[in-house]
Chain A
Amino acid sequence: MFTPINFLIATATIVVLMLLHETAHYVSARMMNLRVIDFGLKMRGAVPYPFVEVGWTPNARKRLIYLMAGVATTASLFSLSLITSASWLIPGIYLGFAGQLVLETNPVFSDFVILQGMNSGKGKSDNDRMFTGPWYVHFALWVLLIVLLLSPRFLPGLLFAGA
C-alpha cells in the first residue's frame, strides 16, 4: 500500500477532501445564519490551504455543528464508500482518506481542539488543556484510529489483501 504512486494519489485525495471539509464548514455556517467573515485560500509558508472564518456565536449547538461539519463530511464519505464497497476506493484514495481523517481528528490542532477551547471557557490556554486526563483520552483514541486505519493487520488488510 505504501508505494510512491499511492502516496501521490493520496496527496491529491487529501487536497480534494480539504476543499470538501471547508465547503462543509461554509455550507453549515450559511444554513445556520452564522456570519461568514471570510473564506478562500491562505498561505502557510509556501503551502496554500483553504479556510472559512465565521463570527462568534454564543449558541453552543451551532458551534458544535459548524466545527464538526468538516470531519463529519469526510467520515461520512469514507463510511459510505466502505459500506457500498465503492470501486473507486483504490489503495491510494484509501490512504488519502485515512491521512485526512488522522489529520482532522488530531489532538493538537484539529477542529476538536478548537471546540474544546471554545467550550472550556475563558482563561484557559491550549497549553492548559494539553497533556491533561481528557487530552490523553483523545490522544489514545487517536492512536487507535491511526492503527485501525493504517495497519495492514486491520482495515487495509481486510480491504486490500496482498496489495
Chain B
Amino acid sequence: MIRALAISAWFQTVIFVRLRQAMFFTIVFPAFLFVVFGFIFGTPGDTEYYLFLMTGVAGATALSDGLFAVGPVVREFYNNGFIGYVRQMPHPSAHVGGLFLSRYIVLFVVVLLLMLISLLFFGATPTPEATLRLLLAIAVGFTAFSIIGLAISFIGDRMDNGKGFGNVLYFVVIFTSPAFYPIDLINPTVARFGDFLPLTPILHFARNEAVNWWPLIVWGAVSLPVYLYSLKTRQIKR
C-alpha cells in the first residue's frame, strides 16, 4: 500500500512537472506575487509585513491548488473513464492518495521557495515554530479546499460549470480575506464577510492569531456530502 502510494505520488509529481502552465501558476506565480508586493508595499526592516505577505501568498496558493488541481483532475478521471482502471488496481485509494501527496510535496516546495525569497530579498526569516505552523496550515487548508473543489467540480453536467463557479469563489475569497493586505483595517465590513469564507481561519492559524475554525468546518461539512451526492446522481457529459 505504501509502495503504491509512493509510486502514485511520484507519477503525479512527474505529470505536474511536465505541465508548464501548472508549474507556472503553482510555483512561479506565487514567487512573482511575493516579490512584487514585497518590493512595492514593504518597507526594509519591516519583517512583520514580509511574513504576513508570505503566509498570505502561501495560503492563496493552497486555495488555488485545492480548488483547481484536485477536483477537476478527479472529474477528468470520471470523464475519460480512467476511474474504471483505478478501481481495478490493487490499491485504488492509493492512486487518489498519491494525487494529494504529490500536491502536499509541491506546496511544501512553494513554501520553501517563498522562505528563500523572503531571506534573500527582504532579510526576513520565520522562526522554526512559525515555519511548522505555516506548513501545517497549508496542509490543512489544501485538504479542506480540495474537498470544496471536488464539490464544485461536480456541479452541473459539464466541466465548465464548476470552473466558472470555482473562479468566482476564488476571487471573492482572495479579495475579502487578509491574504495580501490587512482587510480588517481597510474595510471591516468586507472583513466580516471574509470571516465566513474558508481561507481566513487558515491565515489566522498560520499567523498565530485567534482562530475561528467554524467557517472552515461548515464549508467542509457541506462540500463533502454535496460531492458524494453529485458523484452518485449526476450524469457526466464530456
- The answer to whether A150 touches B40 (Cβ under 8 A) is yes
- The answer to whether B44 touches A143 (Cβ under 8 A) is no
Q: How large is the interface on A (under 10, 10 to 19, 20 to 34, 35 or more residues)?
A: 10 to 19
- The answer to whether A143 touches B36 (Cβ under 8 A) is yes
Q: Give how many A-B residue pairs fall within 8 Å (CB-CB).
A: 28
Contact flags (1/0) for B38-72 with A, using CB distance below 8 Å?
A: 01100010000000000000000000000000000
Given contacts A143-B32, A153-B44, contact A131 B39 (CB under 8 A): no
- The answer to whether B21 touches A131 (Cβ under 8 A) is yes
Enumerate A110-163 residues with CB–CB distance to B below 8 Å: 127, 130-132, 136, 139, 143, 146-147, 150-153
Task: Report B-chain residues with C-beta under 8 Å of the C-beta of A150.
Answer: 36, 39-40
Alpha-carbon distance between A147 and B34 when the two chains are bound, in angstroms: 11
Alpha-carbon distance between A94 and B20 when the two chains are bound, in angstroms: 35
B35 at the A interface (CB under 8 A): yes
Alpha-carbon distance between A124 and B38 when the two chains are bound, in angstroms: 36
- The answer to whether A147 touches B39 (Cβ under 8 A) is yes
Contact flags (1/0) for B109-128 with A, using CB distance below 8 Å?
A: 00000000000000000000
- The answer to whether A151 touches B23 (Cβ under 8 A) is no
Task: Report B-chain residues with C-beta under 8 Å of the C-beta of A131.
Answer: 20-21, 23-24
CB distance from A133 to the nearest CB of B (A): 11
Task: Report A-chain residues with C-beta under 8 Å of the C-beta of B23.
Answer: 131
Task: Report A-chain residues with C-beta under 8 Å of the C-beta of B20.
Answer: 130-132
- The answer to whether B40 touches A143 (Cβ under 8 A) is no
Alpha-carbon distance between A127 and B44 when the two chains are bound, in angstroms: 38
CB distance from B103 to the nearest CB of A (A): 20
CB distance from A107 to the nearest CB of B (A): 11
Task: Report A-chain residues with C-beta under 8 Å of the C-beta of B44.
Answer: 153
Enumerate B11-39 residues with CB–CB distance to A below 8 Å: 20-21, 23-24, 28, 32, 35-36, 39
Alpha-carbon distance between A136 and B40 when the two chains are bound, in angstroms: 22
Nearest chain-A residue to B36 (Cβ)? A146
Binding site for A on B (CB under 8 A): 20-21, 23-24, 28, 32, 35-36, 39-40, 44
Q: Would you mind naming 19 contact pairs between A and B with Cβ atoms under 8 Å apart?
A: A130-B20, A130-B21, A131-B20, A131-B21, A131-B23, A136-B28, A143-B35, A143-B36, A146-B36, A146-B40, A147-B35, A147-B36, A147-B39, A150-B36, A150-B39, A150-B40, A151-B39, A151-B40, A152-B40
Give 10 A-B pairs besides A127-B21, A150-B36, A150-B40 with Cβ atoms closer than 8 angstroms.
A130-B21, A131-B21, A131-B23, A143-B32, A146-B36, A147-B39, A150-B39, A151-B39, A151-B40, A153-B44
